[in-house]
Chain A
Amino acid sequence: ETGVTQTPRHLVMGMTNKKSLKCEQHLGHNAMYWYKQSAKKPLELMFVYNFKEQTENNSVPSRFSPECPNSSHLFLHLHTLQPEDSALYLCASSKGSDSRETQYFGPGTRLLVL
């Protein structure tokens, strides 16, 4: 049990659909992250939130919209996605955003865009 949960675990959506991914951490952490894991590519950091404030946005297309209502919850809202957006989306959290803090990952949401 990593203390970071993600729902749904699997999602299939059409290019015109709107869906949301949810992440919840039970570790009392203050920083939360979204990563994209595509086949044969390094993990890509998408967004960072620290104390509910977005501190990093790594040139992510606007069809991905994050939301962090509190330190325990993080959402990724999806709309008009493309097939190349199919990937495993991982959420992580850490106590703070310092380099020595370990990031704890959830199991991921496997997304397929048709």
Chain B
Amino acid sequence: GDSVTQMEGPVTLSEEAFLTINCTYTATGYPSLFWYVQYPGEGLQLLLKATKADDKGSNKGFEATYRKETTSFHLEKGSVQVSDSAVYFCALFLVSGSARQLTFGSGTQLTVLP
């Protein structure tokens, strides 16, 4: 079945460090890909998305490129801030027959230290 694999956390970085959170997926079709972020005590918020191969999603300094050849959607940010501390979820959405489902990875906890 469809699945998403994220790098395990927790990830701890110093402020202004470079961030990469790896995400790979398995899907039988051509899914849309998403990164969601969950700040402490809050629900998930969409961070960025890409709906077809080679699309780049970007928001708040974060970027991710939909790579069909490597089935990946790695999240990157050039210079993280303390306020970026949160849990990050990679997800895919695939329509297959009558099934429509957003499938999430297990999440990666990021802590940024001042």
Contact = CB atoms under 8 A, between A and B. Distances in A.
Contacts of A105: 36, 43-45
A14 B54 CA distance: 50
Nearest to A50: B100
A45 B52 CA distance: 23
B51 interface: yes
Q: How big is the B interface, by class? A: 20 to 34
B44 A90 contact: yes
A65 B102 CA distance: 21
A31 to B, nearest CB: 9
A68 B42 CA distance: 23
Contact of B46 (A45, A56, A102, A106): A102
Contacts of A45: 101-103
A41 B105 CA distance: 8
A42 B100 CA distance: 17
Contact of A100 (B32, B43, B104): B32
Contact of A40 (B31, B36, B106): B106
Interface string B45-85: 11001010000000000000000000000000000000000
Contacts of B94: 99
6 contacts: A4-B43, A41-B106, A56-B101, A99-B31, A99-B100, A100-B51
What 3 A-B pairs come out closest when comparing CB atoms? A105-B43, A43-B104, A105-B44
Interface of B: 4, 31-32, 36, 41-46, 49, 51, 89, 93-95, 98-107
